[in-house]
Amino acid sequence: MIKEVYIYGTDFIINLANILNLSYYEINTLIFCFLYPLIIIGLILIFIIQKKRWNRLIGELENI
């Protein structure tokens, strides 16, 4: 199972590199050095915003 996921991911990156006329290493760098950290930071921000909304909602319900 893990081998198939690795092969699929590698093939995807190679095909994406060919489509964008970049090398495998350039696409890999873009994904894992720029895109992945941005996604992680975005998810953390979404979590913080949702937690604040949840706490505010719980506070309003306790005051009723």
Any idea what DSSP says for residue 1?
-
Q: Model confidence over 40-54: pLDDT tens digits?
A: 999 999 999 999 999
Q: Model confidence over 14-33: pLDDT tens digits?
A: 999 999 999 999 999 999 99
Complete DSSP assignment for 19-38: HHT--HHHHHHIIIIIIHHH
pLDDT at 14: 95
Whole-prediction pTM: 0.71
Q: Model confidence over 5-14: pLDDT tens digits?
A: 999 999 999 9
